[in-house]
Amino acid sequence: MIKIISLLIVIVALNMNAYSLENEKAQINWISIEEAEKLVKQNPKKIFVDVYTDWCGWCKRMEANTFSHPYIIEYINKNFYAVKLNAEQEESITFRGVEYVNENPGERRSSHNFARALLQGRMSYPSVAFFDEELNLITAIPGYRDPKAFEPLLVFFNDDIFMEQPNLDEFISSFEGNIK
């Protein structure tokens, strides 16, 4: 009887450990903008773009705090195609039939033309950008946001609230989210 109970305890512990490891591995399903463009044509969904650089401390903090939060991960994966864009990458990007390049690859802080287009020349990191289901840029928003402050942005654009109530700050001030 003791062996059976011991065996059951081991099985339960292993299952709990496997469940814990599975949940720890949850992350945003990042893809390229080219992949997102193809997927939108098959299954329309908005696109969320995280515009970052390797040297940006606030970008790293947003990755560690905001983009690792379980609710944010679940919400983005469910409602958006998520794109992670290094604003200084050297590789070219083709989006909507236009090729974008980094004109000065290898030079310090040389921004990519696609990042410049998304951010409309206001190179601030981190920034996030949202596209609609027809691949049109809705807007780009600069700055770090913790998970609680980031949730209303996702809802504002995912639920098309921006079309009826264009004042994001007003929406945020009355927003009651799921992150406490």
pLDDT of 56-90, one tens digit each? Answer: 999 999 999 999 999 999 999 999 999 999 999 99
Residue 113 covered by a domain: yes
Any idea what the CATH number is for the domain that residue 46 is in?
Answer: 3.40.30.10
> Does a structural domain hold residue 16?
no
Distance, C-alpha 138 to centroid of its chain? 15
Q: How far apart are the C-alpha atoms of 2 and 165, rounded to whole Å?
A: 65
Question: Residue 10 domain-assigned?
Answer: no
- Name the percent of the chain lying above pLDDT 70: 87
The CA distance from 85 to 103, in Å, is 16
Q: Tell me what the pLDDT averaged over the chain comes to.
A: 90
Note the pTM of the prediction, 2 decimals: 0.84
Secondary structure element (H or E) that encloses residue 82, with its range: strand 80-86
Residue 18, in any domain of the structure: no
What is the total count of domains within the chain?
A: 1
pLDDT tens, residue by residue, 111-146: 999 999 999 989 999 999 999 999 999 999 999 999
Tell me the C-alpha to C-alpha distance, in Å, between residue 75 and each of 71, 94, 151: 6, 27, 9
Helix axes 70-79, 147-158, angle to 10 degrees: 20
| DSSP bridge partners of 128 | 50, 141
Asked, for residue 134, whether it belongs to a domain, the answer is yes
Q: Is 52 a member of any domain?
A: yes
Would you say residue 13 lies in a domain? no
Instruction: Write down the H helix ranges in 25-97.
Output: 33-42, 57-65, 70-79
State the residue for tokens 């720890």: 24
Q: Is 8 domain-assigned?
A: no
The domain in which residue 98 lies consists of 26-174
